[in-house]
Amino acid sequence: MSFTGSIPEFYDRYLGPFMFDAYARDTAKRLFASPAAVVLETACGTGIVTRRLRETLPPDVRIVATDLNQAMLDYARGSLKGADVHWRTADACELPFKDASFDAVVCSFGMMFLPDKAKGFAEARRVLRPGGAFLASSWCALPENPVAAAVHETVVTLYPDNPPRFLETPYGFGDPALLSRLARDAGFASAEVERLEFAGKAPSMRDPVTGFVKGTPLFTQLSERGADHDAVIALVLERAKAETASGGFTSPVAAVILRAT
């Protein structure tokens, strides 16, 4: 899944406020780190969670933020310029760190993209010190996230013979039983999964729809099919009978949060 070109900017601008920031704040509050702790964030994306971790954790806590996608990492580094964060390009399935190097590992909405999810869980366990915590989040299924569902249903209808299926990946890894099993198989002593739902807010539905169409790899999949991205956005809004003028838009954004220790 490639987040290149202008995708990180659209992702951060339109999806960040609508669906990621509330979870970023929640994740940061769940992480109890001593002043001398070292925290690893994997799949940091555009740095939305990184920012909240840095704001919330004690200043002496060392934060190492990583992502495999260089474009996303570069965007995150630029958006948090001056923040006390150590940036590193790294694959969550093959972390370049020694065993027992961190007091906590955070992966917010990234595990679903790993080609070997069991390896990703095992790597998180490997680099944690005894007693350390692993926090990971994943979106619930498409029917529980109406805006994403509206976008997905529209593009599938547009290209029935060769439908773009990107959104099935981030919204296809929210089974609590699976997350718990992967954590325990990786060697974690305990694993708890909680479902959360926040109200995603935007000036209008156009913002998050634009984020999905132009700020995720769905953009590339539509380009490969010769799509007019603005026309796709308009069609999603038309099918949803959404008001496109500003005036406020709210829609459920549902996810599950894993805490493994």
Task: Say how many domains are in the chain.
Answer: 1
Judge whether 108 lies within some domain.
Answer: yes
Task: Give the pLDDT score at 32.
Answer: 82
pLDDT of residue 243: 54
Angle between helix 229-239 and 146-158 (nearest 10)? 120
Phi (first) and psi of residue 231, to 5 degrees: -65, -35
The domain that holds 69 is classified in CATH as 3.40.50.150
Per-residue pLDDT of the chain (261 residues; tens, 9 = 90+): 555 568 999 999 999 999 999 999 999 999 987 778 999 999 999 999 999 999 999 999 999 999 999 999 999 999 999 999 999 999 999 999 999 999 999 999 999 999 999 999 999 999 999 999 999 999 999 999 999 999 999 999 999 999 999 999 999 999 999 999 999 999 999 999 999 999 999 999 999 999 999 999 999 999 999 999 999 999 999 999 865 445 689 999 999 999 999
pLDDT at 35: 75
- Going by C-alpha positions, the residue among 257, 131, 127, 260 that lies closest to residue 190 is 260
pLDDT, residue 6, reads 85
Residue 95 located in a structural domain: yes
For residue 151, tell me if it sits in a domain. no
Please tell me the predicted confidence (pLDDT) of residue 244: 47
Provide the pLDDT for residue 5: 60
The pLDDT of residue 246: 52
For residue 243, tell me if it sits in a domain.
no
Residue 153 lies in a domain: no
Tell me if 124 sits within 8 A of 42, measured CB to CB: yes
In a domain, 46, yes or no: yes
Residue 234 forms part of a structural domain: no
Strand blocks (E) in the chain: 38-41, 62-67, 86-89, 102-108, 128-139, 191-202, 249-260
Q: How far apart are CA 80 and CA 34, in angstroms?
A: 23
| Cβ pair 253, 200 in contact under 8 A | yes
114 part of a folded domain = yes
Closest CA to 111 of 261, 13, 256: 256
Look up the domain containing 182 and give its range. Answer: 7-142+170-201+251-260
Contact present, 56 and 69 (Cβ < 8 Å): no
